[in-house]
Amino acid sequence: MSKYVLSLFACVVLMGTVFSQSPKSMDYTPKAKPKTEKVTQKFLKMSFDRESINLGKVKRGEIRNFDYIFTNTGTETIEVDIASGCDCSTIDYPVVPIKPGEKGKIHVKFDSGKKEESETVDVDLYLKNIDPKTGHRVFKILNFTFELIQ
């Protein structure tokens, strides 16, 4: 008999535990899904028509003008801070921001009168934009070559 009473007591306790649980699982109201906004990370990309220009044969004292044309193929606006070359070149660059999809031009005026021999000359382009990978300003090197003749 005591086994019967003990079993009955265990069943009552077990049933009480089951039915005393809050009815959260029975009262199901779907939670609103959190809004997920599509986050598009901005990136910088300049696509040049030519990064290296061969001027061919140039007479000493001759002046050549040429352009590096680029397109902003990224999603971030490009801002050129400074462009530099050697004493033999004068460089003009866009001072207005270049928006995505727009074109820009780096104009170079090369004076071969200051040169003694054939050479490859670098045109350094410093942007105001910061590279997210390095934390430094974006730096691009273009160049031109020439064969000096007398």
The residue ranges of every structural domain in the chain are 46-149
Which residues in 67-80 are b (16+ Cβ under 10 Å) and which e? ebebbbebebbbeb
What local confidence, expressed as pLDDT, does residue 42 receive? Answer: 78
The pair of three-digit structure tokens given for residue 40, joined into one six-digit string: 């598009």
Mean pLDDT by 10 residues, the chain (150 residues): 62 58 56 61 89 97 97 95 94 96 97 93 96 91 95
- What pLDDT is recorded for position 78? 96
Q: Residue 88's closest CA among 109, 58, 106, 68?
A: 109
The pLDDT of residue 114 is: 86
CATH 3.20.20.70 applies to domain 46-149:
no
User: What pLDDT sits at residue 8?
Assistant: 57
pLDDT at position 105: 97
